[in-house]
Structure 1
Amino acid sequence: MKGNISRRGLVKGTAWAVPVVLASTAVPALAASHCQPGIVVPIPTNTSTDGSSLTHTFTATDKTQSLTFTITGGAGGSYQGDSYQGFGGAGAYITGTIDLTEGDTVTFITAGGGGPYSGSAEAPGRGWADGGSHEAAYIGTNSYTNAFQEGPGRITELYGPTGGGASAVLLNGTPIAIAGGGGGGGARQISRTTWSKIYGERPSGFKGLRFNHGNIANGGTGGPSYTGGEGYDETYEYFPGPSLHMNGGKGGYNGWAGAGGEAGNLLNPTSNSSLSFKNNSTYYTYRQSLAGNAGDHGYLTTPPGGTGGKGVVGIGMVVTIGSTHADRNQCSVLHGSTGGGGYGGGGSGSVTTAAGYATDQRWAGEYTYVNGEYQAGDYWSPVGSAAFSGAGGAGGSYLDNQRVYSGYIATGTSPGVAGSRVNGTSFATVCEIQD
């Protein structure tokens, strides 16, 4: 449960579920003073490539009557290829108008977009609230990866996309609009034995532990309601039956954090006799099913909270006991996709890993080079490890309908792009009395 909800009561407001135009007996400044509308406020564009946010403050003059704004949150980072989806969720869209008097300050925080799927930890999108971050590297620091590296083997560590930051508008230092950031798209990491040319031509009966190229989960999209990241399933190409399921993180809403994605699982592990995930005297396997992390609750006071859920780290490992060949020992490490920042941070995706070996394939290893020819050696079977993540949930959004009129929160329309960041935006015009 959330702690002290009354803190949010310091500034009353509602994250409306549908576009709302408030009725008011007050006459808007535009109509009362016949000011000239549409004068653009020169807010710089956030062009950062590292997730940084940009802050700009406008101060009202004696001629300023009202200001109309539009903001979007930063999109979540995306998976590596558009053909497999895994897009980061778009940041929320908010628009509205406020009346101003001389000396009022309006601060625009334009969020950074989340980082893409990568071989190193990408910073999340920063903003009024930041997207979720990653843990430090496991290779060289984790007991399981250290034990694996005591012998020959192939180990790969990858990082899922990070969530986008939240953009905001502050009137005299108080938030009046918060556009939640999108959740990071899902991710996958696979390491497996492949057929080497030193063994001769690849036989038709060789079946590596490949996965089908299905669509990756998309991140949660910011908007008027809480939008979670997608979950999805992965299946083996040559071994039908077993599958891995991952869940997306939940979206933040109205100051409440989104929960992390529920732990997935390796489903139907014994359904195909040609593939096994069990330990025995020849193989050691290690797999995990991890729930995602919740985001932080959001407050309209300082510090605001609302950070997206941090990524969880999963390990899948298979060791052919006694083997000195690296390709017969495989380890996959994946940092799961993170949640978007906002008025209630989105949760991170769950991570499911697996490690197995083929039970009905025995291939002669030609690894000794004698008199110009490779000689048959020991027999081996293909092995493989894998780790997958559901997508992150979107951050929550907020609009102060006591101060903002003709305003609403809408679902974002600018999702993440593979390999890059999609930052938030801020645009505003003022209505000024003319001489």
Structure 2
Amino acid sequence: MTVVIMPSFDSASKLAPRFSYHSHIKHWKDTMKHSISRRNVVKGAAWATPMVVASASVPAFASSLCTPGITLDVPTNTTTNGDSVTHTFTAGNIEVMTFTLLGGAGGTYQGNARDGHGGSGALVTGTLDLNPTDEVTFIIAGGGGPYNNTPSTPGKGWADGGSHSEAIMDENEYTKRYKEHSSKSLINELYGPTGGGASAILLNGTPIAIAGGGGGAGARQISRTSWNKEFYGPQPESFKGLKFNTGDMANGGSGGRVGERGGSYQETYLFFPGPALNMNGGLGGGNGQGGAGAPAGSLSDPKSNSAISFEGSQERYLFSQNVAGNAGADATLTKNSQGNNGGQGGAGVVGIGMAITWYRTSDLNQCSILHGSTGGGGYGGGGSASVTTAAGYGADQSYASVTGWVDGNYIEGGYWSPVGSAAFSGAGGGGGSYVDTSRVYDSNITTGSNIGKPGMRVNGAATAVVCRNFTADKKTK
């Protein structure tokens, strides 16, 4: 009678899954019905809970199993610019590999709002058998970039998160018009968080596992008239600037088998209840298809409060937009004509809100430009968010000026009302994920726990625990 010890899987990594005895011993028994080979015994027993099996039918060579529970040295992605990390090895004496794979998280909003974290990457786990000549490649994705005043690069990986366009303040016809009537040399142009990249494992160049990246969180950009005591004296109780309430910011969609939709949310004015700005999140990608971009948002009930107006007049020019998001890219397991696999997250769209008070060069002119949040990369990229903007003024407020400009001349007097502009973005959708079940068994796709954090990138990760046949090494020497 031969006694076979079936050891347990154990890893220090928090990412590593623990597989049950029941699933693996059943697989071992099934394979024994057809073939009593060393590899089939390993496949069924390598990570089962410890137990003793007594059987006269088990061949003697089954006691010489490969050594399980060996942690493979897979590098950690420590980049801070969104880059991915690649690691390739040849299987050699590795016969079985159990892995975990985590996509990059989406970027996070940091500002005057609650929540607003980037979506977590998808978590993919599984086990596969390897032949000595198999080449295995890990692509460990970078996390998406945070809310910023410069274009934030997306997380890179097997598929990248969605990107931003370059600054438009010097090129756009509307912002040029604003500059003609404002003394401000710098327009407030900000960029929403970007999506995380997708991590992947390639077997001989072909993806067998893809973990989608999380979508970027929502974003806000507000510019408004404030009371200037130096010019106007003490602030009267009647003065009400176009402030917004501190609300709940939209969270990015998490990566998954089908990525989660990015969050939608609403902004309301602090002193002017009634009107509300509505922003939508991009849809998640999945099954190789990119998620749809978010539908355009809206300014609801604009005339519900007579104390604020969103309509232009002879004294003011007001401009606002409702911009729909972009779809994520479809993905293929083989290279496309551009030499990549697609799956990029939807790119950010741009929205402008602008208030110009004619013959004024002070803070009675306000302009907000926001590049919307982008989708996560994956087996189908997540769609990007919509951007909703507004421009208005306090219709029931009028204050005397100390000075003003008319046709280039400095004059006394005149009256003014506070103005404000704003631009808000929903959140990006998460990227889709994939497992080749013809090669990978005991697989699972779920949501990871690496949600985005303010002011930093949260990269993807990977672990691998293998069963090595050291006897094979001795035979080759």
Fold match (TM-score > 0.5): yes
* Residue equivalent to 2:370: 334
The answer to whether structure 1 residue 106 and structure 2 residue 136 are counterparts is yes
Distance in 1 of aligned mates of 2:202 and 2:227 = 59
How far residue 353 of structure 1 moved from its aligned partner, in angstroms, is: 0.3
Contact 1:74 1:181 (8 Å CA) reproduced: yes
Q: Which amino acid aligns with 1:418?
A: P
| Structure with greater Cα Rg | 2
* Residue equivalent to 2:11: none
Distance in 2 of aligned mates of 1:415 and 1:423 = 10
Q: How many residues were matched structurally?
A: 409
The answer to whether structure 1 residue 276 and structure 2 residue 309 are counterparts is yes
For 1:108-142, what per-residue CA distance to the aligned partner results, in whole angstroms no more than 9, with x for missing partners?
A: 00000000000000100000000000011011111
* Residue equivalent to 2:51: none
Distance in 2 of aligned mates of 1:206 and 1:118 = 31
Match of 1:133 among 151, 163, 172: 163
Show the 5 A alignment for 1:75-224: 75-81=105-111, 84-154=114-184, 155-198=187-230, 199-224=232-257
Contact 2:280 2:425 (8 Å CA) reproduced: yes
The answer to whether structure 1 residue 319 and structure 2 residue 356 are counterparts is yes
Q: Do the aligned partners of residues 88 and 153 (structure 1) sit closer, same or farther apart at CA in structure 2, a change above 3 Å counting?
A: farther
For 1:63-88, what per-residue CA distance to the aligned partner results, in whole angstroms no more than 9, with x for missing partners?
A: 22111110100000000148521100
The answer to whether structure 1 residue 44 and structure 2 residue 87 are counterparts is no
In the superposition, the TM-score normalised over structure 1's length comes to: 0.91
* Residue equivalent to 1:55: 86
Q: Secondary structure at the match of 1:175?
A: strand
For 1:40-79, what per-residue CA distance to the aligned partner results, in whole angstroms no more than 9, with x for missing partners?
A: 1111110000000000012111x22111110100000000
The structure with higher relative contact order (CA 8 Å, sep 6+) is 1
Distance in 1 of aligned mates of 2:280 and 2:330 = 21
The answer to whether structure 1 residue 237 and structure 2 residue 270 are counterparts is yes
Distance in 2 of aligned mates of 1:434 and 1:241 = 73
Q: Greater CA deviation, 185-194 or 276-285? A: 276-285
How far residue 39 of structure 1 moved from its aligned partner, in angstroms, is: 1.1
The sequence identity of aligned pairs, in percent, is 59
Structure 2 unaligned blocks of 5 or more: 1-18, 32-39, 46-61, 405-410, 472-477
Contact 1:29 1:99 (8 Å CA) reproduced: no
How far residue 144 of structure 1 moved from its aligned partner, in angstroms, is: 1.0
Structure 1 unaligned blocks of 5 or more: 1-18, 369-374
Distance in 2 of aligned mates of 1:156 and 1:52 = 28
Distance in 2 of aligned mates of 1:367 and 1:403 = 76
How far residue 204 of structure 1 moved from its aligned partner, in angstroms, is: 1.2
Q: Which amino acid aligns with 2:443?
A: G
* Residue equivalent to 1:423: 459
Contact 1:364 1:376 (8 Å CA) reproduced: no
Q: Secondary structure at the match of 2:442?
A: strand
Distance in 1 of aligned mates of 2:470 and 2:137 = 24
Q: Secondary structure at the match of 1:158?
A: strand
Contact 2:257 2:445 (8 Å CA) reproduced: yes
Distance in 1 of aligned mates of 2:317 and 2:264 = 29
Q: Secondary structure at the match of 1:326?
A: coil
Q: Do the aligned partners of residues 358 and 82 (structure 1) sit closer, same or farther apart at CA in structure 2, a change above 3 Å counting?
A: closer
Q: Which amino acid aligns with 2:90?
A: T
Match of 2:333 among 300, 308, 325: 300
Distance in 2 of aligned mates of 1:49 and 1:341 = 18
CA RMSD of aligned residues (A): 1.8
